[in-house]
Amino acid sequence: MRKNSSVLLRQVRTSRGFTLVELLVVIAIIAVLATLIFGSVRSAVLRAHKVRCTAAIREVNTALQTFSADYMRPPIPPSITPGTLPDVVFGDSSGRYTNDYIVSVLEGEDKNFSFEGGDWNTRNTNPKLEEYFIFPRTLEKKNGVNNIQGDARFGQILDPWGNPLMIAINVPPFTNERSDGLADRWMETYNQAVYPDSQPRYEPYVIWSYGKDGAKGTAGKPDASNRLSASDDVVSW
C-alpha cells in the first residue's frame, strides 16, 4: 500500500503543469522570437522592394539613354525655345509634370499632355514613334504603369510602394553653369534629390524613388542630417 502511494505521489508531482513564472518565461521567449522573425521578414520585404525598384529605374535609364542616342537630345519637345525651359522633374509631388509623358514618349505612343506653359505632343518629341521600352502594367497601383482606367495616376509608372517614380531631365543647350537649371550642365532637381551626403551633378537625367515612407530621406528627420545612405530611398546616380 505504501508503495502504491509513493507511485501516485510521483505521478501527481510530474503532472502538476507549469507554474505562473514558467508560463511568463515561455511567453517572453515567444515574444522575443516573434519580434526577431517579424523584423527579419520586414527587412527582407524592404530589400526585395528596393531591388525591384532599382530594376525599374535601370529600365527607365536604359530607355532614356537609347532615346537620347537616337535623337541627340533628351525627351523634351524640340519646339521649346532653346534656353527658356529649365530642368524638368516628372512625377514630383507638386504634380506639375507627371511621368506618364515619359512613359508615352519611350513607348512610342501618340498622345497629348497639358502642362504649365502649354501642350506637349509625344509625336513632336518622338517623331518616328519609336518603341524604346514597354513598361509592365499593373492593377495594384504599384510596380509598373498604373493600368486602372479613371484612376488619377493612370498611365504613370509607380514604384513598389505605389508612388510615381521621379525622373529629372537636364535640359540643353548648356551655355551657363549653375544657373538654377536654365541652360547649364548641373542637374537641378529643386532640392528634391539633394541630400547632405549625395545629389545629382552633371547627369543628363536621373531617376529616383522616396521609398516606403514616401519622404525624401527618412520621414521626420531634419534636412541637415537626413542622409541618403541612412534612408530607404532608391536613386540612379
> 145 forms bridges with which residues in the sheet?
137, 157
Q: Could you give the CA distance from residue 204 to residue 58 in angstroms, rounded to a whole number?
A: 15
| pLDDT of 6 | 58
Helix (H, G, I), strand (E, B) or coil at 168: strand
Which pTM does this prediction carry? 0.82
Angle at 119 between CA 66 and CA 93, to 5 degrees: 75
**Each residue's pLDDT tens digit, 104-147:** 999 999 999 998 768 999 999 999 999 999 999 999 999 999 99
The torsion of the CA quartet 199, 211, 86, 169, rounded to 10 degrees, works out to: 90
Summary mean pLDDT of the chain: 89
Of the candidates 153, 55, 53, 63, the one whose C-alpha atom is nearest the C-alpha of residue 100 is 153
| pLDDT of 28 | 83
- The answer to which of 5-14, 104-113, 186-195 has the lowest mean pLDDT is 5-14
Q: Could you give the CA distance from residue 42 to residue 45 in angstroms, rounded to a whole number?
A: 5
In this structure, what C-alpha cell is assigned to residue 75? Answer: 525627351
Mean pLDDT of 68-86: 89
How much of the chain, in percent, has pLDDT values that exceed 90?
A: 71
Torsion angles phi and psi, residue 194, rounded to 5: -105, 120
> 181 forms bridges with which residues in the sheet?
none
pLDDT-based confidence at 81, cuts 50/70/90? confident
Domain segments of the chain as ranges: 17-235
How much of the chain, in percent, has pLDDT values that exceed 70?
A: 91
